[in-house]
C-alpha cells in the first residue's frame, strides 16, 4: 500500500512562476511526497499566485474551490506574488490553510508539521526589503522545454507595476549556478531552455549579494551558448533598453539561441511612456526592431502592450495602434490596464472607462491576429526546424519552429520531443501551419 502523501500544484502567471513551482515540487518530492495532477485527489494543494492582473487575483478563489471539490479535507497553501502583496486577503479565502510570502515560499516544507486543516489561514510573510537573497529555479518534467530562472526582482519604478513590491530588488543567480542548472537540464533530454526572470536584461546585478553588475546579460548569453547538449536557447521577455545590439548580433550568429525576441513596449506614445516611467522612448524601440530584422530577417518579435492606461485619450491610443501597425513585429500580448493598490498610476487622473478599455483591447487583439498571419505567410516555403510538443490535441501534434511559428500534424507519439527539419507549406483555418518533412519521413499513425 502506498502511504506517501500526495501534493498537487497550480501555477498562475508567468514563465518565472512555472520555474519556481517546479523547483518547489522537487523539494516536496525530496521530502517523500508524490506529485499528482491538480485535477487528482491530493492531500495538499499548492497554488502559486500572480499579481500582474486583476483577473489572476479573481481566479485564485475559483482554483481553491476546484481543489476543495476534489478533496474537501485537503490542506491548501498559497505562495507567490499575490501571497506577498495581500497575504491576509488570501488567508481569509474559505479553505486556505497557509499563505507564504516572497522569502518563505521555497521553505514551504518547513512550515508543514501535519496536513490538518486550519480554522483560519496561517500567514508567514516578510517585509519585501527582506527579499534580498536569490533562489535558483528551473522547470522540468512538464514540457519539452525548460524555464530556467536567471534573475529575480526589479529596481524599475514603472507607475502601474506591483512586481517590485511582490518580489523585491533586482538580483541574479551566479553565472556558475546558471551554467550548472543548464547542464542538469541538458542531461534530462530536454531540447529547449527558455531564460526567464523579472527583468533578465538586468542580469548580473546582485549576483553575489552586492548591487553592482558582476556579469552582463551578453556574458550570460555567451556562456550559455557553450553549454553542450542544449539544442535550443530562447530569450523570454527583455526590456528594449537592456537588449543591446551586441546581444542581437551574437544571437544572429549563435548555433543555439533562436531568432525570437519578446520585447515589452507597453505604449507607442511617448507621452504615455513618460507617465508610465518607462526607461526608453518609442524611437529606441524602433531601433531595436530594425536591428533584429537587419541581422535576422525571419526573426519573430512579440510585443507587450497596455491599453486603457490613465491619460490614454483616443488620439494617444491611435498613436499606439498606428505605431504597431507600421512596425515589423509578429504578435502582441495585450493587457487591459487594471488599477493596482500602492501604485502611482492608481492615483492618476484621466481614468479610461472600462468599456473603452475593452474596445481598445479588442482592436489590438485583432491587430495581433493580422500581424501573426502576415508573419506566418512570410515564412511559407521556407525550411525550418520544429520541436514537437508532447500533447495529443484532438488528434494533432503541435510544435514550434525556432522562430516561433506554430505547426500542426496528425498525432504521432514518435514525434514527441524530437526536432525535425520541415518546409512550411500552408496556413490552416485555425491559423496553424502545415508542413512537409525535409529530413527523414515519419509515418503518421
Question: Does the domain spanning 383-437 belong to CATH 2.40.50?
Answer: yes
The x, y and z cell numbers of residue 122, run together, are 496561517
> Is the pLDDT score of 258 beyond 70?
yes
Domain extents in the chain: 6-126, 132-258, 383-437
Instruction: Calculate what percentage of the chain has a pLDDT beyond 90.
Output: 82
CATH number at 132-258: 3.30.750.210
**DSSP string computed for 60-123:** HHHHHHHHHHH-TT-EEEEEEHHHHHSHHHHHTSTT--EEE-TTTGGGGGGG-S--PPPSS-EE
Task: Give the pLDDT band of residue 142 (cuts 50, 70, 90).
Answer: low
pLDDT at 279 over 90: yes
Cell 516611467: give the residue.
Answer: 277
Residue 117, pLDDT > 90, answer no
Tell me the whole-structure pTM to 2 decimals: 0.91
Degrees to nearest 5, angle at CA 356 with 352 and 362: 130
Reply yes or no on whether the pLDDT at 313 is more than 60.
yes
In the sheet that holds 232-235, the strands lie side by side as 145-149, 192-196, 232-235
Tell me the fold of 6-126.
Rossmann fold (3.40.50)
In degrees rounded to 5, what are phi and psi of residue 364? -70, -35
Highest mean pLDDT of the ranges 74-78, 83-87, 392-396: 74-78
Decide if pLDDT at 2 tops 60.
no
- The highest-confidence range among 16-30, 44-58, 104-118, by mean pLDDT, is 16-30
Angstrom distance (rounded) from CA 435 to CA 279: 41
Question: Please, is 84 exposed, middle or buried when counting C-beta atoms within 10 Å of its C-beta (0-12, 13-18, 19+)?
Answer: buried
Q: Which residues contact 300 (CB under 8 A, 6 or more apart)?
A: 259, 260, 261, 330, 331, 375, 403, 404, 405
Q: What are phi and psi of 240, to 5 degrees?
A: -60, -35
Give the Cβ contact number of residue 317 at 10 Å. 24
Taking CA 219 as the corner, what is the angle to CA 217 and CA 221, rounded to the nearest 5 degrees? 70
**Which residues are within 8 A (CB) of 60 and not within 5 positions of it... i.e. 6 or more apart?**
12, 47, 49, 78, 82, 90, 93
Q: Whole-angstrom Cα distance, residue 132 to residue 367?
A: 40
Contact between residue 173 and residue 164 where contact means Cβ atoms under 8 Å apart: no
Q: Give the pLDDT of residue 378.
A: 98
Cell numbers representing residue 46 in the block? 499548492
pLDDT band at residue 120 using 50, 70 and 90 as cut-offs: confident
Among the residue ranges 25-34, 208-217, 266-275, the one predicted with the least confidence is: 208-217
* Mean pLDDT taken over the chain: 93
Q: What is the pLDDT of residue 356?
A: 98
- Residue 326, H or E segment: helix 314-326
Q: Retrieve residue 269's grid coordinates.
A: 506614445
Whether residue 445 has pLDDT greater than 50: no
pLDDT of residue 1: 36
The mean pLDDT of 27-52, rounded to a whole number, is: 94
Mean pLDDT of the region 284-309: 98
Task: For residue range 49-68, list pLDDT tens digits in order.
Answer: 988 766 766 789 999 999 99
Task: Return the bridge partners of 260, or none.
Answer: 300
Amino acid at each position: 500500500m502506498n502511504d506517501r502523501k500526495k501534493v498537487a500544484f497550480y501555477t498562475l502567471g508567468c514563465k518565472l512562476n512555472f520555474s519556481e513551482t517546479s523547483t518547489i515540487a522537487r523539494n516536496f518530492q525530496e521530502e517523500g511526497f508524490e506529485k499528482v495532477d491538480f485535477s487528482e485527489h491530493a492531500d495538499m494543494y499548492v497554488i502559486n499566485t500572480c499579481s500582474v492582473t486583476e483577473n489572476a487575483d479573481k481566479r485564485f478563489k475559483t482554483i481553491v474551490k476546484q481543489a476543495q471539490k476534489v478533496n474537501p479535507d485537503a490542506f491548501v497553501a498559497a505562495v507567490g506574488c499575490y501571497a506577498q502583496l495581500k497575504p491576509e486577503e488570501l488567508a481569509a479565502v474559505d479553505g486556505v490553510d497557509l499563505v507564504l510570502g516572497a522569502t518563505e515560499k521555497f521553505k514551504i516544507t518547513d512550515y508543514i508539521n501535519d496536513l490538518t486543516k486550519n480554522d483560519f489561514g496561517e500567514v508567514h510573510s516578510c517585509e519585501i526589503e527582506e527579499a534580498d537573497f536569490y533562489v535558483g529555479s528551473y522547470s522540468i518534467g512538464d514540457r519539452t522545454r525548460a524555464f530556467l530562472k536567471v534573475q529575480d526582482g526589479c529596481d524599475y519604478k514603472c507607475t502601474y507595476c506591483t512586481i517590485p513590491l511582490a518580489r523585491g530588488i533586482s538580483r541574479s543567480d551566479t553565472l556558475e549556478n546558471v551554467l550548472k542548472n543548464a547542464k542538469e537540464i541538458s542531461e534530462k533530454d530536454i531540447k529547449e531552455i527558455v531564460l526567464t526572470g523579472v527583468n533578465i536584461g538586468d542580469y548580473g546585478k546582485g549576483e553575489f549579494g552586492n548591487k553592482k553588475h558582476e556579469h552582463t546579460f551578453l556574458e550570460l548569453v555567451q556562456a550559455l551558448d557553450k553549454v553542450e547538449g542544449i539544442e535550443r536557447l530562447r530569450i523570454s521577455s527583455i526590456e528594449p533598453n537592456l537588449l543591446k545590439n551586441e546581444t542581437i548580433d551574437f544571437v544572429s550568429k549563435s548555433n543555439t539561441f533562436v531568432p525570437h525576441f519578446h520585447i515589452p513596449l507597453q505604449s507607442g506614445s511617448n507621452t504615455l511612456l513618460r507617465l508610465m516611467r518607462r526607461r526608453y522612448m518609442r524611437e529606441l524601440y524602433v531601433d531595436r526592431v530594425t536591428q533584429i530584422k537587419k541581422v535576422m530577417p525571419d526573426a519573430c518579435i512579440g510585443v507587450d502592450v497596455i491599453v486603457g492606461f490613465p491619460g490614454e485619450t483616443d488620439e494617444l491610443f491611435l498613436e499606439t495602434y498606428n505605431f504597431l501597425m507600421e512596425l515589423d513585429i509578429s504578435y502582441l500580448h495585450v493587457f487591459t490596464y487594471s488599477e493596482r493598490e500602492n501604485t502611482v498610476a492608481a492615483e492618476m487622473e484621466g481614468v479610461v472607462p472600462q468599456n473603452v478599455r475593452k474596445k481598445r483591447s479588442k482592436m489590438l487583439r485583432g491587430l495581433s491576429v493580422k500581424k501573426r498571419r502576415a508573419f506566418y505567410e512570410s515564412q511559407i516555403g521556407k525550411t525550418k526546424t520544429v520541436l514537437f510538443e508532447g500533447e495529443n490535441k484532438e488528434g494533432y501534434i503541435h510544435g514550434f519552429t525556432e522562430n516561433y511559428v506554430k505547426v500542426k500534424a496528425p498525432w504521432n507519439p514518435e514525434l514527441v520531443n524530437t526536432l525535425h527539419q520541415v518546409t512550411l507549406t500552408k496556413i490552416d483555418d485555425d491559423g496553424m501551419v502545415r508542413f512537409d518533412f525535409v529530413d527523414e519521413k515519419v509515418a503518421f499513425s
